[in-house]
Amino acid sequence: MSRTTAKEDETSGDLGRVEKVLGLEFRDTIIGGYIFGLPRDSKPLVGVEYFISEAAFNECLDASNRGAQRMVDHEGWLDPEQGFAEFEMSQMAINPLTRKASEFQFDFHPCGHPHEFEPPTWIDQVNNFITPVARVTSPDRSTCIEISPNTALCPVPLDGRTGRRPTDSEKVRRSATLKIFVHPPTTAQDLTRRSRELANSFLFELSTRNRTHFALRPKLSRLVPKQSYGPMNYNVRFPRSVVPDNVSALFSMPMSISARGNTTLSFLYYYQVLEHYFPTIHKREAIKKIRRIIRSLDFNEGEDQSILKILNSAERTKGESDGDQLRALLEYCVSEEKLKQFFTLQGDAHFGSKGPIQGGVRPILTKGKDLPPLHSQVASRVYQIRNRIVHAKDDSRFEESKVLLPLSQEAMALRPDVDLVRLLATEVICNGR
């Protein structure tokens, strides 16, 4: 083996290690460093690239050799050997910690952690300003929580366009991440739990006490992308649908920027559209039943028994649960053909019994003998998911009531159910009058 090949082997081994610790894929070598991108097999929603300088590359290698790893549920990484966790964050509003820096005081004390910013101040050479690093220390000085510019393992994405060489200022751009330092070092499992708890508490208090709104970033690369069912219609027509104001507002929300990627919220908006039509269908069903009694051959308005039949029927429909009302609505508005078409295109990886949405949520079974009617199966599933999103009673004794949280793995996989409830909402708007 020639020396060049040995060197190449060594580099490709290093590249593989850095790819693993960053959760990214190597794309190219450029002056001063490397370009990495989101893994292609994860089918990312957008093409995003990162510049990793040679120094950052070496830092990643060192971290990898120490056993550092990406987090499972969030964007960020854990370094158990150093008792260190770093979360990437989304900033939800203007950050007073930067804007009114001189007015803030931070509850920090001398500690034994290897903090990059010591004293806790950051000199931003790109924008030429000095800003404090938000750091607080526990009373026993074993733990620090800090919001400061990212380390090499949480690189900042380049401008949206891929395949473009980064500018010099882009190469040194940094963005705030939340860092947890604990002492002594601990296991990955313990560090995951403690860092999550500390990050949650800190961000809650920053929001409620300091009007500084950040959120941890869930692993969006796992988000199942939206699919389109059926062919696109190229005929733009004068509208015939009748859409009430509040239904229109609810139906448009899941497509807005604010709800993008928020599958649980999108699911609820579409569910609320269905709920809007409950009373209409409920009345229609009740009238249909009473009319049937009145038209029956043995009905006699002079007999108390006959009148009681009407009364009992009205009582029964009044006591119908939301789940029953949903089933009645779907039976009335959505054809079985539409449902079958949807599940045929979808396959059973998601809706089958081994699908990613568990916690007592019923699968949809389309092949087999003695299956419950498709409308009932769909109504049960939609209603169970709705309950798991809105009922926050997280009690392990009742698996069915286990809450489905916005940033959970199940929420990231929920997209096909959102597509289903969107289809139901569409059909109900068209046929529910």
Does residue 136 belong to the site contacting Zn ion (CB under 5 A)?
A: no
How near is the Cβ of 21 to Zn ion at its closest, in Å? Answer: 23
172 close to 125: Cβ distance less than 8 angstroms? yes
Applying CB under 5 A, which part among 40-48, 104-112, 155-163, 187-195 lies near Zn ion? Answer: 104-112
Residue closer to Zn ion by CB (options 135, 171) is 135
Phi first, then psi: give them for residue 416, nearest 5 degrees: -60, -30
Block residue for tokens 């309950």:
387
Per CB under 5 A, contacts with Zn ion among 162-181 are 181
State the CB neighbour count (10 A cutoff) for residue 398: 12
Does residue 144 belong to the site contacting Zn ion (CB under 5 A)?
A: yes
x/- map, 58-97, Zn ion, by CB under 5 A:
----------------------------------------
Query: Which residue from 45, 101, 111, 188 is in contact with Zn ion, where contact means CB under 5 A?
Result: 111
Dihedral (Cα; 189, 195, 198, 200), 10-degree rounding: -100
- Token readout for 339 is 């449902």
How near is the Cβ of 183 to Zn ion at its closest, in Å? Answer: 8
Residue closer to Zn ion by CB (options 78, 144) is 144
Handedness of CA 17, 22, 24, 29 (dihedral sign): negative
The most distant pair of C-alpha atoms in the chain lies apart, rounded to whole Å, by 107
Query: Which residue from 74, 113, 173, 276 is in contact with Zn ion, where contact means CB under 5 A?
Result: 113
Residue closer to Zn ion by CB (options 119, 302) is 119
x/- map, 20-49, Zn ion, by CB under 5 A:
------------------------------
How near is the Cβ of 178 to Zn ion at its closest, in Å? Answer: 14
Applying CB under 5 A, which part among 49-57, 138-146, 242-250, 389-397 lies near Zn ion? Answer: 138-146
Cα separation of 22 and 2, whole Å? 30
Does residue 333 belong to the site contacting Zn ion (CB under 5 A)?
A: no
178 close to 199: Cβ distance less than 8 angstroms? yes
Cα separation of 35 and 158, whole Å? 10
How near is the Cβ of 140 to Zn ion at its closest, in Å? Answer: 12
State the CB neighbour count (10 A cutoff) for residue 276: 18
* Cα 186–chain centre separation: 29
Residue closer to Zn ion by CB (options 178, 429) is 178
State the CB neighbour count (10 A cutoff) for residue 217: 17
How near is the Cβ of 86 to Zn ion at its closest, in Å? Answer: 14
**Number of residues that make up the chain:** 433
**What does the binding site for Zn ion look like in residue numbers (CB under 5 A)?**
111, 113, 144, 181
